[in-house]
């Protein structure tokens, strides 16, 4: 009888311990986490439950690694995924574990502005944090589609370049199929060349199709494009910043990229155009303009005749002179 009583006491004590442990674990699972801000936590491939728990403690996401390890063993739901996770402020342990099992990793972004040269894109990419590897070879000018790209922590930079090249190919193919009839650009490659010039000529979205229309008109009439950005590219080869104004002598610089001295299009793009600039070239605005000059507000004034254009240029220089007077 004494033995049975002793066993009963042990059983009751064990049940009490189990119950206490259960209630303790439940409390730990649903207690708000210690962090008052979102935390980015990197879980490396092959990490053990103990290593993951310690990582979460080190990042200030949880306070009790033992509760994490116990819950990881007894809860259903599968293994924890590797990757970088954005853990919300005060996320409880149960939510943290669910997030790691779900595997929805944090997406980082890198943005490339339209009109960057391939060298500038590579420099931007190599300076972006959170990726691995360094891009050494400079891709062909005009082969990269500039936009915002998402990536995960420690993704190779070379993969971003590959995605940019694929995006450019798909975009050009799609827009080429929907091109207007009678264009003087005969291949998708020529469309990208002209789009790169349009991209560098105007930063006003509403003007792209009109500027493209000017160059289309010039090409149809056999007039030189006379685009200043092509001269700048000729002088720099797209490999350095151009930090001075163009001089008249620059317009005579001998280069296949100088559209003041060569007929038609240059042999290649002078930058990486965005989708909108490519679309503008393939669906240009129809008008009778052959000339344009800056209007002093970021846009341009367009003209059908050279006489009108000369007057617009005179007005532009008068405007610049008046602005210098105000600055002084």
Q: Tens of pLDDT along the chain (328 residues)? A: 554 444 444 455 444 444 455 556 566 667 887 888 988 889 888 888 889 888 988 888 888 888 778 877 877 666 888 888 888 998 887 888 888 888 889 899 999 999 999 999 999 999 999 999 999 999 999 999 999 999 999 999 999 999 999 999 999 999 999 999 999 999 999 999 999 999 999 989 999 999 999 999 999 999 999 999 999 999 998 877 776 788 889 888 899 999 999 999 999 999 999 999 999 999 999 999 999 988 877 889 999 998 999 898 888 777 777 766 555 4
pLDDT at 284: 98
Distance CA 230, CA 262 (A): 11
Return the residue matching tokens 């998708």.
188
Q: What angle (nearest 5°) sits at the alpha carbon of residue 148, between those of residues 228 and 155?
A: 120
Torsion sign, CA atoms 200, 202, 207, 212:
negative
Global pTM exceeds 0.85: no
pLDDT at 323: 66
pLDDT at 23: 53
Residues of the chain with CATH 3.30.1490.480: 31-106
Task: Annotate 203-246 with DSSP letters as a single string.
Answer: --GGGHHHHHHHHHHHHHHT-----HHHHHHHHHTTSS---S--
Superfamily of domain 31-106: Endolytic murein transglycosylase (3.30.1490.480)
pLDDT at 29: 66
Distance CA 248, CA 253 (A): 10
Nearest to 216 by CA among 238, 243, 194, 233: 194
Task: Tell me the β-bridge partners of 292.
Answer: 302
Distance CA 51, CA 301 (A): 64
pLDDT at 227: 95
CB-based contact 274:199 (threshold 8 Å): yes
């Amino acid at each position: 009888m004494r033995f049975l009583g002793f066993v009963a006491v042990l059983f009751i004590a064990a049940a009490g311990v189990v119950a206490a442990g259960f209630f303790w674990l439940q409390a730990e699972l649903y207690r708000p986490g210690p962090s008052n801000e979102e935390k980015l936590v990197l879980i490396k491939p092959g990490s053990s439950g103990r290593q993951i728990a310690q990582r979460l403690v080190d990042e200030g996401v949880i306070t009790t690694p033992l509760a994490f390890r116990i819950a990881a063993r007894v809860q259903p739901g599968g293994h924890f995924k590797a990757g970088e996770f954005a853990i919300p402020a005060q996320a409880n342990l149960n939510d943290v574990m669910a997030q790691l099992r779900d595997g929805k990793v944090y997406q980082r972004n890198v943005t490339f502005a339209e009109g960057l040269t391939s060298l500038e894109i590579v420099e931007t990419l190599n300076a972006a944090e959170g990726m691995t590897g360094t891009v050494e070879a400079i891709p062909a000018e005009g082969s990269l589609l500039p936009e915002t790209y998402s990536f995960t922590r420690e993704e190779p930079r070379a993969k971003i370049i590959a995605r940019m090249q694929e995006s450019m190919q798909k975009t050009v193919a799609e827009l080429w199929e929907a091109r207007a009839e009678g264009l003087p650009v005969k291949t998708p490659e020529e469309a990208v060349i002209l789009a790169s010039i349009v991209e560098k000529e105007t930063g006003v979205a509403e003007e792209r199709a009109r500027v493209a229309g000017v160059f289309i008109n010039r090409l149809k009439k056999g007039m030189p494009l006379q685009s200043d950005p092509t001269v700048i590219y000729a002088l720099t080869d797209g490999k350095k910043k151009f930090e001075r104004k163009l001089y008249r002598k620059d317009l005579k610089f001998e280069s296949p990229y100088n559209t003041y001295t060569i007929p038609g299009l240059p042999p290649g793009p002078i930058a990486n155009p965005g989708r909108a600039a490519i679309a503008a070239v393939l669906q240009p605005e129809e008008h009778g303009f052959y000339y344009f000059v800056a209007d002093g507000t970021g846009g341009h004034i367009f003209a059908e005749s050279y006489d009108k254009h000369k007057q617009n240029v005179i007005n532009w220089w008068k405007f610049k002179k008046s602005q210098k007077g105000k600055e002084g």
